[in-house]
Chain A
Amino acid sequence: MNSISKKETVNSIGKKEIIIKKKKFRSEEKKDMISGYLYIAPFFIIFAIIGLYPVLFSFYLAFQKWNGLSPMTFNGLANFEIVLTDPLFWKSVYNTIIIGIMGTAPQLVAGLVLAYLLNMAFLKFKSFFRVTIFMPYLTSMVAVALIFSVLFSNHESSLANYVLTHFFGLDPVAWAASEWGTKIAISIMVFWRWVGYNTIIYLAGIQSISNDLYEAATIDGANKFQQLFYITIPMLKPFIILTVFTSTVGAMQLFSEPTVFLGSDAFTRDEAMTIVMYLYRDAFRLQSFGTASATAIILLVIITLFAVINLRLMQGFGRKKRGVNK
């Protein structure tokens, strides 16, 4: 702020000296400088108020005991202790990871396969397939959760149970009330909504790979599968890293789907309680803002941890592939 006002006075002095050509050039530079700062200022001003300050305040709040009304009292590390010794918190971590793995890992593989097939030269109706596969991404998370809450309702003859019992000869599942039922239903809706999105990103990646590579490989006698594993996948590495990274971070933040899927039971049952739901419940249902902030910071640590592990693994995967290639 201070620097901007200083620069403005410099500018007004610059205006007086505009007659001298050399100085005019310099004032032009100054003007650009001021414009530069002015034009990027809106982001930083809004960020300072509603981004940075709240994040810093979360770190402060994590060490306070506060119900939102009475004054805060310093609580040391007690909030972290409360959260980390709460079995429900660990249940929420477990749920988040399980749903995260079941919802995203198959999705990335399916996205890769679909993108590879959609890029085949002989394929007709390409845009039809692309549009239909992408469409689920446009339904909001709330809408997806509601559609699937009817598809996967507890009733013995809901559509999901009908398919299970009539086509697979299995017993019906209480999708919204059992340990694995809820997790599977939520994973399926995450899969359904995001697979097209990842397909589109992989497709863009595949299309950016030069055709020469495939031609050379064909001349060398490589078949389609060898081309997939030794050209397409290694060349897609940056795209795969991007999608793995964003899906991992997204999976750790899962909130809307389970909350809407379980409706009025969302914050009382524990089968699908995720970390963010645990945080939300502490803050806005139990008015325990200190422990909720502690949970937010623990969540940050978990996300960072997973992101780093993922990136490490992905880098390893790329190197190995290249080694085999040689």
Chain B
Amino acid sequence: MSKHDKRKRKKFSVGRISVYLFLFIASIVSMFPFYWMFVMATRPSAAYNSIPPTLTPGKLMIENFKKVLSQIDFFGGMWNSFVLCSVVTIVVLFISSLAGFAFAKFKFPGKNIFFVAILLTMIIPPQLGLIPQFFLISKAGLLDTLQGVMILFFLNPLGIFLMRQYISEGVPDELIEAAKLDGCSNFRIYWGIVLPIILPAFATLGIIVFTAVWGEFLWQFTILRDPEMYTIQVALAQLSNTHNIDFGMILSGVFWATVPLLVIFLLFNRLFISSITEGSVK
């Protein structure tokens, strides 16, 4: 009886309630800007400074979005971003897994030096080569093209590092030896044995790459100047680039550009969160 009482008292202790309270406030702080963005996206521009603040959705959801469409090529931007991110993700997965396979399972002179060299490229700040990169893309006639943007993103040292980890831990040497005895070429081993085993790791790396490229701004902003080629980030940035600012319209654009990613995240949140920890902790 007394034991039971003790447990009951502990369940409602001040400490526990304050932990819940603290986390609850943190959740509200995290979520509020999303909610407020939604509210503003359904209200006239002037709603942002009304007193008391407007905290309930209005009726202008469609009108505001129509204004976005008249201001920027929203769907074109979304499509460009989608194509950019998809191609980059596929190419990075291919390059990284192939290189990761080589580093994990083959012996060749200079292997460690090459691997360290790849890791060292991670510490180069991306701005260091920005200007020559711009002229290189320009000389190649790739300004205002998605190809010009994507080539830089193909470089993903973290991907090679992660894939090497997965392949050396996840693919048994015996399996490769056996395939070799059967006369499989190395590429067939990669395609038929290694790839199926590391598919889950592809999900992790794929999420890291896709979201990183989706949100990147400086490089896309530098290479894409023609409104028709804008990705969604560059297009969104144009919304605030006028002096006559319509806040309902701006947040409507941001809202519809953000929602797809958030929905995907809510569906696969475990995968997303583990991709972050594996991407940075391993």
Chain A proximity mask over B7-29: 1 for CB below 8 Å, otherwise 0 = 00001000010011011001101
- Report how far A114 CA is from B22 CA in the complex, Å: 9
- Evaluate contact between A146 and B251: CB separation under 8 angstroms: yes
Given the interface pairs A36-B111, A43-B99, A43-B118, the reply to whether A141 lies near B215 with Cβ below 8 Å is yes
Q: Which residues on B sit within 8 Å (CB–CB) of A141?
A: 215, 217
- Evaluate contact between B240 and A263: CB separation under 8 angstroms: yes
- Evaluate contact between A158 and B48: CB separation under 8 angstroms: yes
In angstroms, how far is the closest chain A Cβ from the Cβ of B54?
Answer: 9
Given the interface pairs A140-B233, A146-B239, A196-B30, the reply to whether A156 lies near B132 with Cβ below 8 Å is no
- Evaluate contact between B95 and A300: CB separation under 8 angstroms: no
Partner among B98, B108, B129, B245 whose Cβ is within 8 Å of the Cβ of A33: B108
B152: Cβ under 8 A from any A Cβ: yes
Chain A proximity mask over B117-133: 1 for CB below 8 Å, otherwise 0 = 01001001111111111
B166: Cβ under 8 A from any A Cβ: no
**Which residues of A263-299 are within 8 A (CB) of B?**
263-264, 276, 279-280, 283-284, 289, 292-293, 296-297, 299
- Evaluate contact between B102 and A40: CB separation under 8 angstroms: yes
**Which residues of B227-254 are within 8 A (CB) of A?**
233, 236-237, 239-243, 245, 247, 250-251, 253-254
Given the interface pairs A31-B186, A141-B217, A264-B243, the reply to whether A61 lies near B125 with Cβ below 8 Å is no
- Evaluate contact between B266 and A131: CB separation under 8 angstroms: yes
- Evaluate contact between B132 and A54: CB separation under 8 angstroms: yes
Q: Which residues on A sit within 8 Å (CB–CB) of B127?
A: 253, 255, 276, 279, 296, 299
- Evaluate contact between B107 and A36: CB separation under 8 angstroms: yes
In angstroms, how far is the closest chain B Cβ from the Cβ of A118?
Answer: 7
Q: Total interface residues on B, using CB and 8 Å?
A: 93
Partner among B53, B128, B247, B265 whose Cβ is within 8 Å of the Cβ of A55: B128
Main secondary structure of the interface of A (DSSP, over half): helix
- Report how far A226 CA is from B62 CA in the complex, Å: 55
- Report how far A263 CA is from B99 CA in the complex, Å: 42
Closest partner residue, chain B, to A242 (CB atom): B280
- Report how far A256 CA is from B217 CA in the complex, Å: 6
- Evaluate contact between B125 and A36: CB separation under 8 angstroms: no
In angstroms, how far is the closest chain B Cβ from the Cβ of A19?
Answer: 15
**Which residues of A33-84 are within 8 A (CB) of B?**
33, 35-40, 42-44, 46-47, 49-51, 53-55, 57-58, 61, 68
Chain B proximity mask over A166-199: 1 for CB below 8 Å, otherwise 0 = 0000000000000000000000000010001100
Q: Which residues on A sit within 8 Å (CB–CB) of B103?
A: 40
Chain A proximity mask over B47-69: 1 for CB below 8 Å, otherwise 0 = 01111110000000000000000
- Report how far A98 CA is from B140 CA in the complex, Å: 39
- Report how far A58 CA is from B277 CA in the complex, Å: 34
B198: Cβ under 8 A from any A Cβ: no
- Report how far A158 CA is from B50 CA in the complex, Å: 8
Main secondary structure of the interface of B (DSSP, over half): helix
- Evaluate contact between A299 and B98: CB separation under 8 angstroms: no
Given the interface pairs A43-B155, A55-B128, A138-B265, the reply to whether A36 lies near B108 with Cβ below 8 Å is yes
- Evaluate contact between B251 and A150: CB separation under 8 angstroms: yes
B276: Cβ under 8 A from any A Cβ: yes
Q: Which residues on A sit within 8 Å (CB–CB) of B178?
A: none
**Which residues of A118-146 are within 8 A (CB) of B?**
118, 120, 122-123, 127-143, 146
- Report how far A23 CA is from B270 CA in the complex, Å: 51
Partner among A162, A284, A303 whose Cβ is within 8 Å of the Cβ of B222: A284
Count class of interface residues, chain A = 35 or more
In angstroms, how far is the closest chain A Cβ from the Cβ of B135?
Answer: 8
Chain B proximity mask over A106-121: 1 for CB below 8 Å, otherwise 0 = 0000100110011010
- Evaluate contact between B108 and A136: CB separation under 8 angstroms: no
Stretch in A87-95, A200-208, A312-320 touching the partner = A200-208
- Evaluate contact between A200 and B273: CB separation under 8 angstroms: yes
B101: Cβ under 8 A from any A Cβ: yes
- Evaluate contact between B129 and A200: CB separation under 8 angstroms: no
- Evaluate contact between A58 and B132: CB separation under 8 angstroms: yes
B136: Cβ under 8 A from any A Cβ: yes
In angstroms, how far is the closest chain A Cβ from the Cβ of B213?
Answer: 10
B36: Cβ under 8 A from any A Cβ: yes
- Evaluate contact between B27 and A128: CB separation under 8 angstroms: yes
- Evaluate contact between B160 and A51: CB separation under 8 angstroms: no
Mark B residues whose CB is within 8 Å of A.
Answer: 11, 16, 19-20, 22-23, 26-27, 29-31, 33-34, 36-37, 40, 48-53, 95, 98-99, 101-103, 106-109, 111, 114, 118, 121, 124-136, 151-152, 154-155, 157, 160, 180, 186-187, 190, 211, 214-215, 217-218, 221-222, 233, 236-237, 239-243, 245, 247, 250-251, 253-254, 257-258, 261-262, 265-266, 269, 272-273, 276-277, 280-281
24 sample A-B contacts, Cβ–Cβ < 8 Å, listed by A number: A33-B107, A40-B114, A43-B95, A49-B136, A51-B155, A55-B124, A61-B132, A68-B135, A110-B26, A113-B22, A131-B269, A134-B269, A141-B215, A143-B254, A143-B258, A149-B250, A157-B50, A157-B51, A162-B51, A192-B29, A200-B273, A256-B218, A276-B127, A280-B130
Closest 4 CB pairs of A and B: A54-B129, A54-B132, A140-B215, A36-B108
Contacts A37-B108, A200-B276, A255-B217 supplied; 9 other A-B pairs, CB < 8 Å: A39-B98, A47-B155, A117-B23, A155-B49, A157-B50, A246-B280, A256-B218, A264-B242, A296-B131
